Each structure stands twice: as structure tokens, then as C-alpha cells.
């Protein structure tokens, strides 16, 4: 009997949220879709968060992923950027958790390493490797969608390995794994 799983990968962002979907049939990856949610035209940060949540719910309801892989925000030079990215990631995670979908978080270097073998690979190198592995005819202009796809492929490659990123199966699991981070009123 064929085993089948759908993995949604998300590259959260407040200007562009990239996402990619793969289907795994008998341990073989098949490309389903990649795209991006363009948020540049919205000035209000709360509108952006609402749109990220709604688009993630729409993707879940359309493709019925079994698991979600999401890129973790990383600390660069700008703390404000990281906070914005963290909010975007949190909203996408909340959408998945609201539908009881297991979520695994991966650091950008871990995703790049899984796809190219080099944790310092460029977005272009990651995209080219995905194009080769998944036999994609062309690559998008913006590489945020390939970053989302890379999260899904990274999750597939890391399946069954002991040390994954942080995983949550629902709100209760999230709260248990993050004691003291929830502000109790």
C-alpha cells in the first residue's frame, strides 16, 4: 500500500511570505506548488499579519498538509527586523496549530545545508539545487517561494532523524515545550 504525505514549507516574511508544497509518495518527493504572498503594498503591520494567517489557513484547507516546516527567524544586525519576522512566523505557526498540524522549525543554515550541503549557500544556489532535484522547468523571479519549498524539502530529508528542529503538535505541546514564555494573566 502506498504511503502518502503532504508537507507545506513556509519562509515567513512581512514583505513576502514564500511557501512551497511537496507530496511524498513511497519516500519519493513530488513537487506540488510554490508561490508567495506579496505584502509590500500594505503599510499596516497588523494587516500583514492577518493576511499571513489567512493565506496559511487557505493553503491548509486547500492542500491538507500532514506537516508544516517553517524557517526560523535569525538574528542579523537589526533587532526590529527579527521581531517582525518572529511575528510573521508566529502567525503562520498559529494557523497550523489551530488546525492541529505538526510544525517543525528549521534554522536557515540547516535548510541550506540539507539542500546544498553548504550551510552558507546563497538563495540562488538553493533554488538551482531544488530545480535540479525536483525537475522544475523554471525558477520564480523572487526566491522567497523557493525558500519556502526548501523548508519542505529539508523536512523530508530530515524525516526520521533524531534531532529535528523544534516540533509542536498543538497548543498544549507548544506551551509544554516553552514554559515561562507564555504570559499568564
Q: Was 71 annotated as part of a binding site? A: yes
**pTM, full prediction:** 0.85
Q: Was 144 annotated as part of a binding site? A: yes
Q: Is residue 71 part of a domain?
A: yes
Closest alpha carbon to 15 in 88, 105, 92, 96: 88
Q: Is residue 163 part of a domain?
A: yes
Cβ-based neighbour number of residue 117 at 10 Å: 10
Can you give the length of the chain in residues? Answer: 185
Closest alpha carbon to 127 in 114, 118, 110, 140: 140
Q: Quote the pLDDT of residue 172.
A: 67
Q: Is residue 33 part of a domain?
A: yes
Hey, is 125 helix, strand or coil?
helix
Q: Quote the pLDDT of residue 80.
A: 80
Q: Quote the pLDDT of residue 177.
A: 62
Residues 14 and 123: their CA atoms lie apart, in Å, by 18
Q: Is residue 112 part of a domain?
A: yes
Residue 149 structural domain: 4-178
Q: What are the 10-residue block averages of pLDDT along the chain, 185 residues in total?
A: 88 95 95 96 96 98 97 77 88 96 95 95 96 94 94 91 54 60 42
Cβ-based neighbour number of residue 163 at 10 Å: 6
Contact of 69 with 151, CB cutoff 8 Å: yes
Residues 184 and 169: their CA atoms lie apart, in Å, by 21
Q: Is residue 184 part of a domain?
A: no
Q: Is residue 183 part of a domain?
A: no
Query: What is the 8-class DSSP label of residue 169?
Result: S
Number of domains in the chain: 1
Hey, is 45 helix, strand or coil?
helix
Residues 152 and 160: their CA atoms lie apart, in Å, by 14
Report how far Cα 107 is from the mean position of its chain's Cα atoms.
10
Active site residues: 11, 71, 144
Q: Quote the pLDDT of residue 24.
A: 96
Q: What is the CATH number of the domain that holds 80?
A: 3.30.420.10
Amino acid at each position: 500500500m502506498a504511503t502518502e504525505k503532504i508537507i507545506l514549507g513556509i519562509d515567513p516574511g512581512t514583505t513576502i511570505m514564500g511557501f512551497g508544497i511537496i507530496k511524498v509518495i513511497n519516500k519519493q518527493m513530488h513537487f506540488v506548488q510554490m508561490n508567495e504572498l506579496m505584502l509590500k503594498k500594505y503599510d499596516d503591520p497588523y494587516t500583514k499579519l492577518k493576511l499571513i494567517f489567512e493565506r496559511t489557513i487557505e493553503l491548509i484547507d486547500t492542500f491538507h498538509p500532514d506537516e508544516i516546516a517553517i524557517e526560523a527567524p535569525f538574528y542579523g544586525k537589526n533587532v526590529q527586523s527579527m521581531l517582525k519576522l518572529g511575528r510573521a512566523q508566529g502567525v503562520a505557526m498559529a494557523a497550523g496549530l489551530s488546525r492541529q498540524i505538526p510544525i517543525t522549525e528549521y534554522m536557515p543554515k540547516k535548510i541550506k545545508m540539507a539542500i546544498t550541503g553548504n550551510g552558507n549557500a546563497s538563495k540562488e544556489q538553493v533554488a538551482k539545487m531544488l530545480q535540479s532535484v525536483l525537475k522544475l522547468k523554471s525558477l520564480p523571479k523572487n526566491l522567497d517561494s523557493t525558500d519556502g519549498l526548501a523548508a519542505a524539502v529539508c523536512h523530508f530529508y530530515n524525516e526520521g532523524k533524531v534531532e529535528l528542529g523544534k516540533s509542536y503538535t498543538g497548543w498544549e505541546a507548544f506551551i509544554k515545550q516553552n514554559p515561562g514564555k507564555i504570559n499568564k494573566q
